[in-house]
Amino acid sequence: MADASGLSQVVAAIDTRDNFLITAHIHPDGDSVGSMLALAWALERLGKRVQRVLAERVPLSCQTLPGVEKIANPSMFPPGTVFPNAIVLDCGDLDRIGSTQRLFGPSTFIILVDHHLNPRSLGHVSWFRPEAAATGEMVYDLIQALGVPLNHTAATCLYTSILTDTGGFRYSNTTPRVVEMAAALLRLGVDGPEAARQAFETRSLEATRLLAEVLRTLQVSADGRLAYLILTREMLRKYHTDASETEGFVNYARALVGVEIAALFREEEEDGRLQVRVSLRSRGHFNVHTLAAAFGGGGHAKAAGCTLPGPLSEAVPQVLSKAESLLNGGGVFD
């Protein structure tokens, strides 16, 4: 495999070190959380000290995963805490780990493991495999390379990683290899239907009412090739929900017949300033990574995102006009 050196460097770094922070990107999803929990479990099997840390709340899809209760928030560590080693998963941009950055110092040895296109950061050791369906697929290989036999606990976490990043084995990243891995995980006793229910068919009453309101914001443009939804802070407040319960909302826009680009614009406040997080999905051949990258974001060809400063009234038109111009010429289609 062309990336074998990245994997062996990660193995060597883990073997020779101890006391790890394991983290992943903000707006965590099933892949990032499942990968973190599985790798943390494997490192503990090797007798290593590990802290699982995420800057933002774990999404519903992961709230029943084994070990999820061990995930700490960066604010729980005394000021000045710096880890000697950090493993950053499902994230090729160190700016995307949010406030977990405060647990990094100049002496922190950083290991990056990621499957996004065009990672922006390099660790002291980096292993990038954009052709992997999920970071969970890479962590599966990593755990094997570390010589730790998988058990039911780790298998459950890795199954959720793969299941969520392939959209339940529906997206174009669903390779024979990843389906074979899923089969191996099922043989270890993973409850597949339960993982699918938790990932795709579990929603609180409030979040369901919120979804109904978000769906009312649906707009289409570019002759129906572009569809978008809006989620304001006021809506989140009204239904006492937070962003971790809105995973999958954007898929309702993508499901529209004729749509090529679907977007969900979510307003949020960061350090007293308004910003807009954009989730982008492709229904067909359009590469939404190029659209996200135009605003400093990234992701994959079929699922990407970016964050723009300012209120919705400023951010939305910028993204729509870029999307329309890419759709009408100059955009990347596969």
21: helix, coil or strand? strand
For the CB of residue 299, give the shortest distance to ligand 5GP in the complex, in Å: 3
- Binding segment toward ligand 5GP, per CB under 6 A, in 22-30, 171-179, 183-191, 218-226: 22-30
**Partner interacting with residue 298 (select from Mn ion, ligand 5GP, none; CB below 5-8 Å by kind):** ligand 5GP
298 is a site residue for ligand 5GP (CB under 6 A): yes
For the CB of residue 41, give the shortest distance to Mn ion in the complex, in Å: 18
93-132 residues in contact with ligand 5GP (CB under 6 A) are 93, 96, 116
27 is a site residue for ligand 5GP (CB under 6 A): yes
In angstroms, the CA 134 to CA 116 distance is 9
Could you give the strand order of the β-sheet that contains 109-114, starting from the edge strand earlier in sequence?
50-52, 20-24, 85-89, 109-114, 125-128
Interface map 59-98 toward ligand 5GP (x if CB under 6 A):
----------------------------------x--x--
**185: phi > 0 → left, psi -120 to 50 → alpha, else beta; which?**
alpha
**Partner interacting with residue 305 (select from ligand 5GP, Mn ion, none; CB below 5-8 Å by kind):** ligand 5GP
Q: Out of 190, 299, 316, 331, point to the residue binding ligand 5GP (CB under 6 A).
A: 299
188: helix, coil or strand? coil
DSSP states of 286-318 as a string?
B-HHHHHHTTT-EE-SSEEEEEEES-HHHHHHH
Q: Residue 193: enclosing H or E segment and its boundaries?
A: helix 192-200
Q: Out of 303, 308, 323, 327, point to the residue binding ligand 5GP (CB under 6 A).
A: 303
- Binding segment toward ligand 5GP, per CB under 6 A, in 23-31, 69-77, 140-148, 222-230: 23-31
- Binding segment toward ligand 5GP, per CB under 6 A, in 11-19, 21-29, 57-65, 74-82: 21-29
For the CB of residue 320, give the shortest distance to Mn ion in the complex, in Å: 26
- Binding segment toward ligand 5GP, per CB under 6 A, in 135-143, 213-221, 295-303, 309-317: 295-303
**Residue among 90 and 247 whose Cβ is closer to Mn ion:** 90
In angstroms, the CA 91 to CA 20 distance is 17
In angstroms, the CA 62 to CA 157 distance is 8
**Residue among 305 and 331 whose Cβ is closer to ligand 5GP:** 305
**Residue among 141 and 247 whose Cβ is closer to ligand 5GP:** 247
- Given a contact cutoff of 8 angstroms between Cβ atoms, the answer to whether 150 and 126 are in contact is no
- The HSE-up count of residue 92 (CA atoms within 13 Å, CB side) is 19
Q: Measured in Å, how far apart are the chain's first and last C-alpha atoms?
A: 24
Nearby residues of 333 by Cβ (< 8 Å), 6 or more positions away: 285, 286, 287
Per CB under 6 A, residues contacting ligand 5GP are 25, 27, 29, 93, 96, 116, 279, 297-300, 303-307
